Amino acid sequence: MKINVIYNKDITGYQKVLAETEDILNSNKIEFLTFELSEMQTYGDFTLVIGGDGTLLKAARFYAKDSIPVLGINIGRLGFLSQSGSNGTESVINAVINNKYVLEERLMLSSCDTTALNDFVIKGCNPARTSKFYLEINGKCVCDYIADGLIISTPTGSTAYGLSAGGPVIYPTLEAVTIVPICPHTLNARPLVVPSDEIITITASDKMISISADGTEPAQIKAPINIKAAGKKAVLAFLQKEGFYSVLRNKLHWGISPRPY
């Protein structure tokens, strides 16, 4: 096994976890190379990512082209996609070395020569007001929204911005795409779940719209835009002891009764 070790220098505390990771790999005589997030390269056949969810998303998109699995060691905030905090580094690496993990292929979306593992967020170019957005699927008119924007989300991203905007939680390996309006100026707009092989087209009342992939800096482009399933899927590694529903409970407190005073 050869391992890519990716770290995010912008997250406080990465030095300690990176040094521990390198020491463990060296002691187990595992070949590896270390790369800063902005300087990733393809070296190994497995990738360890030290950072938060944003770091893991970027690494997963990068290594998807070669179908290289990615596993996160969280030193960010929520760490929804990561398998361990900084206190569990040794157990995570030992699990990887001993092949005690499972792999999941995750749908990604493509638009404007950009891919997203979580979501695309489309807004008007004037953040101080709502815009009118027109939604087509496979060339057929579906509806229009007066809203702050639209979130086009993968199942992986359904627990991110889409969830905060009132969208459904989708099991992460399903082949589906969720369309969630952001603050729609109506009482009857609801999220829409469609098959992943549909082509989603969005136009707007503004000539230019803002589009952001996985929370990156938005770009202003001319409408309309098309969003569809990407040609490659991200490959995420998870420890066998964890499951999607337990992560929902432990990190989002899903299904937990209120505590009595």
- The pTM of the full predicted model, rounded to 2 decimals, is 0.91
Please write the tens of the pLDDT for every residue from 90-124.
888 999 999 999 999 999 999 989 999 999 999 99
- Active-site annotation holder among 10, 23, 53, 206: 53
What is the phi-psi region of residue 244: left when phi exceeds 0, alpha when psi lies from -120 to 50, beta otherwise? alpha
Look up the CATH number of domain 2-107+233-252. Answer: 3.40.50.10330
Are 31 and 2 a contacting pair, CB within 8 Å? yes
* Confidence at residue 188, expressed as pLDDT on a 0 to 100 scale: 87
Residues 193 and 96: their CA atoms lie apart, in Å, by: 35
Q: Is 119 a catalytic residue?
A: no
Number of H helices, E strands in the chain: 5, 19
Residues of each domain in the chain carrying CATH 3.40.50.10330: 2-107+233-252
Q: Which residue has the tokens 């979501």?
A: 119
13 has pLDDT over 90: no
Please write the tens of the pLDDT for every residue from 133-157.
999 999 999 999 999 999 999 999 9
Instruction: Count the neighbouring beta carbons within 10 Å of the beta carbon of residue 239.
Output: 17
Residues of each domain in the chain carrying CATH 2.60.200.30: 109-229
Give the right CATH number for 109-229 from 3.40.50.10950, 2.60.200.30, 2.60.120.10, 3.40.640.10: 2.60.200.30
Token duo for residue 70:
């990615």
